[in-house]
């Protein structure tokens, strides 16, 4: 009896999950300050094949219409990773105003941002491109200081050709390498990494650094008696780390990189 009850509850929960409505643009009140941008990102020539989907919408009425239309039910439990994703960005004043959404065109599925995937007809993207075509290029700029980045960012926010930009990620101030002795044991680098992690945890919490053995590093490939461990952390932790037998390399400040998407004129036949 209990088993039958639990089974019926499970069926109810599954039916509830798969029947609930997921709104792609939930909680966004579109006005003239917003823009919806759809573009393909990935690797290889297959990215070019999705140029027929790219679109940009900045009309509040049309954005609100898309919001009402992109509501889904019938979640898909099993998917596989695609090397090219079609991303949907909601932008305001050149910056992302909401978490981005993802469409996998080959599988014809869409992610509403809450972990649920739903069937999606890519003919909708063709329609959006035909009515609101987008042609763009991506640029990556590097800055020596945060001040330079801020000044440049402020200088382009009103540029009509700007679509949006990804702000630099500066979780850690920089990195440094540690070179230490190893044995011929294939597991030696893993044990050395464990020891170094423990040494760093005596100075700060584990969330304040990342230590890794870079397998494809040229030094680690060539060397059989030493191993290089790379540490991402604050400059203060770098200064305080001093352990006998560890060769500490120079401090390397994190790169301040800004990824910018620019609008281009329509392509000529």
Q: Where are the beta strands (DSSP E) in the chain?
A: 22-23, 34-42, 55-57, 71-72, 84-92, 95-96, 101-104, 109-111, 117-119, 136-143, 162-166, 174-181, 210-213, 226-233, 247-248, 252-253, 256-263
Q: Which of 230, 234, 267, 225 is nearest to 253 (CA)?
A: 234
Start-to-end C-alpha separation, the chain: 70
Distance CA 54, CA 266 (A): 12
What Å distances lie between residue 269 and 265, 266, CA to CA?
A: 12, 9
Distance CA 74, CA 113 (A): 15
Tokens of 188: 């030696």
Report whether 120 contacts 108 (CB < 8 A).
Answer: yes
Report whether 193 contacts 215 (CB < 8 A).
Answer: no
Distance CA 37, CA 90 (A): 6
Please give the average pLDDT of every successive group of 10 residues along the chain, which has 269 residues: 42 46 91 94 63 94 96 83 86 88 90 84 95 93 90 92 88 93 82 94 95 86 90 96 95 92 75
| Per-residue pLDDT, 19 | 53
| Per-residue pLDDT, 196 | 95
Report whether 136 contacts 54 (CB < 8 A).
Answer: yes
What is the pTM for the complete model shown?
A: 0.68
| Per-residue pLDDT, 13 | 39
CA dihedral of residues 20, 26, 27, 32 (deg, nearest 10): -160
> Exposure of 164 by Cβ count < 10 A (0-12 exposed, 13-18 middle, 19+ buried)?
buried
| Per-residue pLDDT, 6 | 39
- Residue 52: DSSP 8-state: G
């Amino acid at each position: 009896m209990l088993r039958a009850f639990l089974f019926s509850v499970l069926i109810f929960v599954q039916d509830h999950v798969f029947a609930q409505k997921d709104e792609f643009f939930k909680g966004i009140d579109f006005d003239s300050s917003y823009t919806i941008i759809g573009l393909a990102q990935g690797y290889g020539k297959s990215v070019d094949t999705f140029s027929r989907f790219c679109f940009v919408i900045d009309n509040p009425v049309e954005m609100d219409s898309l919001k009402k239309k992109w509501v889904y039910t019938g979640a898909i439990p099993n998917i596989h990773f695609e090397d090219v994703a079609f991303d949907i960005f909601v932008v305001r004043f050149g910056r992302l105003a909401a978490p981005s959404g993802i469409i996998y065109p080959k599988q014809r599925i869409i992610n509403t941002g809450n972990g649920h995937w739903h069937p999606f007809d890519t003919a909708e993207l063709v329609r959006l491109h035909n009515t609101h075509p987008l042609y763009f290029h991506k640029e990556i700029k590097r800055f020596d200081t945060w001040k330079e980045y801020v000044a440049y960012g402020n200088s382009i926010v009103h540029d009509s050709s700007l679509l949006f930009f990804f702000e630099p990620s500066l979780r850690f101030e920089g990195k440094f390498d540690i070179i230490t002795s190893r044995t011929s044991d294939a597991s030696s680098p893993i044990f050395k990494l464990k020891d170094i992690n423990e040494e760093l945890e005596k100075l700060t919490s584990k969330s304040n650094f990342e230590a890794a053995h870079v397998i494809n590093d040229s030094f680690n490939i060539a060397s059989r008696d030493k191993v290089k461990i790379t540490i991402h952390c604050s400059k203060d932790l770098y200064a305080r780390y001093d352990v006998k037998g560890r060769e500490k390399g120079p401090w390397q400040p994190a790169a301040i990189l800004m990824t910018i998407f620019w609008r281009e004129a329509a392509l000529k036949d």
